Chains A and B, each alone.
Chain A
Amino acid sequence: MIELVGVLAIPVIGAVVLAVLGARSHAPAVNVVASGLTFVAAMALTVRVIAEGPILVLDRQFFVDPFNVFLVALTAFVGFTTAIFSRPYMRIEEERGKLTRPKLRLYHSMYQLFLFTMLLALLTNNMGILWVAMEAATLTTVLLVSLYRTPASLEAAWKYFILCGVGIAQALFGTILLYFAAERVLGAGGGALLWTELNAVKAQLEPTVLSLAFVFLLVGYGTKTGLVPLHNWLPDAHAEGPTPVSAVLSGLLLNVALYAVVRSKVLVEGAVHTSFARELMMGFGLLSVVIAAFLLSRQKDLKRLFAYSSIEHMGIVTFAFGMGGPIANFAGLLHMTVHSLTKSAIFYAVGHATQKTETQLIEGIRGLVTRSPMMGWGLMLGTLAILGLPPFGVFASEFLILITAMREQPWATPFLLTALGVAFAAVVSRVQPMVFGETTAKRLPHRPAMIPVYAHLAIVLMLGLWIPPYLADWYRQAARLIG
């Protein structure tokens, strides 16, 4: 209870404090401290849930089970490390005159609020509040995407706002339909949107309405997950915003949006006794993997390249959850974790690399290893990890997903293998010359934050070699819940 309040209250207090502190030079440190405290509270909550099982508190409005608690821990962790990375990154941006103090005040305050919306979306038991939190997540980040006020960043932010706004409006319609179906079973009032209540009576919910609701929910939250063909906002928002924002969008927002899809899927599966929801998710997932993999080879901008890679990986996870079953769900959860960690590590390295060479164009970035071996190797190892090379964790999850696909959905295997191969070729051929060869890198005025990069990569490496028993147990419990 106290842990849960802490997880939600610390970011809000942090946002207020940072809005008041504003332009002081220690604001970035306060941001780190607030994110760190949130992480501590999240760990306490995790320990509690593992020890005592799922908890349902505050008039049934908040619900924590193994499925969302691992995402809460992950979200708080990546939020914390990104805050550490953002400190030197934003200082360099400020010294180069790209950002002013008032903009940094907005940035820090909104960063904390964004973390709050993510954690609220994960912890709430109310499907309506989940919607509200997802919409609020867009609102808090839209001004961050346009932080540099360049024409391209304004365009990216506008696209982000309108496309995600329209998408999320579809999800609201889906939520209304869900409520409509639930009200007939549970009666009017607050109870009919609570996930735990819905889950208890899911077999009695009207299948036609729930199928229609799921289509709207999948399209709505799928837009935020970046599933093809609803992905248009994602590469622009990732490329034009400041790099810490790209890291949290890729590492957190996409996961949480997918979490909303999976929560809806559990309800629909229970009501509709066909494989309708599964097929829809597999279809969207596979389409995203294939299209994103082929678009990777056409990218000239480094951050866009990795944004497309995020679409590809979200497609893989959606496909895994679409297949369902204990192994695919386990792999999907593991993939969510390792993708989130690896991709944010890559964005940290990419962020400093673009500062070193003062360009985001792949052609302009050369020979990072010569000037700073830590950064160059960080980017290279991150890239190899995200492409699914053993012994990193991404290999383990992709391998599990592939073997499940071969057994249960053999038709999909050639598409998956081709896409993974194409993505590998496209990304390696671009990243390799950036890391090795003649250098274009310059010195940075501050020490870059390399610790978060290697901390993330170390965890990903560990997950590839050995998943701690309690974590594996935790994934298994969550996988059972998803069904």
Chain B
Amino acid sequence: MSGVPFYAQIINLMAALLLLLAFAMLAQRRVLSLIDLFALQGLALAISTAVVAWGTHQPHLYGSTALTLLLKVIVLPWILHRLIRRLDVRWDVEGLINIPITMLIGIVLVVFSFNLAVPISQLASTVTRSTLGIAMACVMLSFLMMITRRKAIPQVIGFLSMENGLFFAATSATYGMPMVVELGIALDVLVGMLILGVFFFQIREQFDSLDLKHLEKLKEHQ
């Protein structure tokens, strides 16, 4: 076992799962499955945070685990499901680029993020430092998802999953941010989601659709 503690192996497993889920989201066409994948990603994040807390005796990380579990596994997917039901938009997701090409770009991004993370990982004193590259890759993949999707809800899920990647970076590199900051970030995400909910209704009311192609009228030099 080459001296890697058991909990560190679990964290690595969760990191791999997180990356896998990020790829799955990139490939997923149906919006409802996309939400489930997002909830799963939140769960993987919560488990890995809990394991870091247990393995390294950082009690404040349990608070962060509870927050992740509550917000990203229960509340946000629930809001998204409700929104979809209320807006009645179960259609498939249309991407701008086809999926195999998106996946290939994703692989390039992963390689890039690992390279970017190497100098920082070497400095990290935490047991979970090898996961920093994965966290960065998750952020990049979510970013790619936001760029390649046309519809409003998948873009928002991409945004939220980017937040997951950032939180994972915070726990894997530094054992989590101070609690007051995490609470603030959680509040922002939640309020942001509620505002988006209102916003979706406004867009729908105006355009009868949530397709962002309607939102391309304002051009640079009009």
Partners in one complex: yes
Residues of A within 8 A of B (CB): 126, 128-129, 131-132, 135-136, 139, 142-143, 146, 149-152, 154-159, 161-162, 165-166, 169, 172-173, 175-177, 179-180, 183-184, 188-190, 192-193, 206, 208-209, 212, 232, 236, 240, 295, 298-301
Q: Report whether B218 and A176 are in contact in the complex, using a CB–CB cutoff of 8 Å.
A: no
Q: Report whether A301 and B222 are in contact in the complex, using a CB–CB cutoff of 8 Å.
A: yes
Which chain A residue shows the least CB distance to B192?
A139
Extra contacts besides A155-B217, A299-B221 (4): CB < 8 Å: A150-B206, A155-B216, A173-B166, A176-B169
Number of interface residues of B (CB under 8 A): 49
Query: With a CB–CB cut-off of 8 A, which chain A residues contact B139?
Result: 169, 173
Q: Do A176 and B174 form a contact, CB below 8 Å, given A142-B199, A154-B203? A: yes
User: 15 pairs across A/B with beta carbons < 8 Å?
Assistant: A136-B191, A143-B195, A149-B202, A149-B206, A154-B203, A157-B199, A172-B185, A173-B166, A175-B177, A177-B120, A180-B174, A189-B178, A190-B180, A208-B123, A295-B221
Q: Do A172 and B198 form a contact, CB below 8 Å, given A132-B188, A151-B217, A208-B123? A: no
Q: A158's contact among B143, B152, B174, by CB below 8 Å, is which?
A: B152
The CA of A172 and the CA of B162, in the complex, are separated in Å by 11
Interface centre among B120, B139, B146, B181 (most CB of A within 10 A): B181
Query: B124 near A: Cβ within 8 Å?
Result: yes
Q: Do A128 and B184 form a contact, CB below 8 Å, given A154-B206, A169-B162, A209-B120? A: yes
Q: Report whether B198 and A180 are in contact in the complex, using a CB–CB cutoff of 8 Å.
A: no
Question: For the complex, would chain A's binding face be called helix, strand, loop or mixed by DSSP majority?
Answer: helix
Which chain A residue shows the least CB distance to B181?
A128
Q: Quick one: which of B170-222 are within 8 Å of A by CB?
A: 170, 173-175, 177-178, 180-181, 184-185, 187-188, 191-192, 195-196, 198-199, 202-203, 205-207, 212, 214-218, 220-222
Q: Report whether B163 and A151 are in contact in the complex, using a CB–CB cutoff of 8 Å.
A: no
Chain B: minimal CB distance from A215 (Å): 10
Query: B131 near A: Cβ within 8 Å?
Result: no
The CA of A189 and the CA of B174, in the complex, are separated in Å by 10
Q: Report whether B169 and A136 are in contact in the complex, using a CB–CB cutoff of 8 Å.
A: no
Q: Report whether A236 and B218 are in contact in the complex, using a CB–CB cutoff of 8 Å.
A: yes
The CA of A5 and the CA of B198, in the complex, are separated in Å by 32
Q: Report whether B163 and A169 are in contact in the complex, using a CB–CB cutoff of 8 Å.
A: yes
Query: With a CB–CB cut-off of 8 A, which chain A residues contact B48?
Result: none
Chain A: minimal CB distance from B94 (Å): 18
Interface centre among B124, B203, B216, B217 (most CB of A within 10 A): B203
Interface centre among A129, A179, A298 (most CB of B within 10 A): A179
Query: With a CB–CB cut-off of 8 A, which chain A residues contact B206?
Result: 149-151, 154
The CA of A152 and the CA of B215, in the complex, are separated in Å by 8
Q: Report whether B215 and A154 are in contact in the complex, using a CB–CB cutoff of 8 Å.
A: yes
Residues of B within 8 A of A (CB): 58, 116, 119-120, 123-125, 139, 143, 146, 152, 155, 159, 162-163, 166, 169-170, 173-175, 177-178, 180-181, 184-185, 187-188, 191-192, 195-196, 198-199, 202-203, 205-207, 212, 214-218, 220-222
Which chain A residue shows the least CB distance to B122?
A208
Chain B: minimal CB distance from A122 (Å): 16
Interface centre among B120, B146, B163, B212 (most CB of A within 10 A): B120
Query: With a CB–CB cut-off of 8 A, which chain B residues contact A240?
Result: 218
Q: Report whether B188 and A136 are in contact in the complex, using a CB–CB cutoff of 8 Å.
A: yes
Chain B: minimal CB distance from A71 (Å): 21
Q: A126's contact among B174, B180, B202, by CB below 8 Å, is which?
A: B180
Which chain A residue shows the least CB distance to B147?
A166
Query: With a CB–CB cut-off of 8 A, which chain B residues contact A212?
Result: 116, 120
Q: Report whether A143 and B178 are in contact in the complex, using a CB–CB cutoff of 8 Å.
A: no
Q: Report whether B177 and A184 are in contact in the complex, using a CB–CB cutoff of 8 Å.
A: no
Query: With a CB–CB cut-off of 8 A, which chain B residues contact A298?
Result: 221
Q: A152's contact among B120, B175, B188, B217, by CB below 8 Å, is which?
A: B217
The CA of A149 and the CA of B199, in the complex, are separated in Å by 10
Q: Report whether B188 and A139 are in contact in the complex, using a CB–CB cutoff of 8 Å.
A: yes
Q: A128's contact among B178, B202, B218, by CB below 8 Å, is which?
A: B178
Query: With a CB–CB cut-off of 8 A, which chain B residues contact A180?
Result: 120, 124, 173-174
Chain B: minimal CB distance from A249 (Å): 16
Query: With a CB–CB cut-off of 8 A, which chain B residues contact A142?
Result: 195, 199
Chain B: minimal CB distance from A127 (Å): 9
Query: With a CB–CB cut-off of 8 A, which chain B residues contact A166?
Result: 143, 146, 159, 162
Query: With a CB–CB cut-off of 8 A, which chain A residues contact B222?
Result: 300-301
Query: With a CB–CB cut-off of 8 A, which chain A residues contact B198?
Result: 143
**What 9 pairs between A and B have smallest CB-CB spacing?**
A128-B181, A132-B184, A155-B215, A190-B178, A298-B221, A135-B188, A180-B174, A180-B173, A176-B170
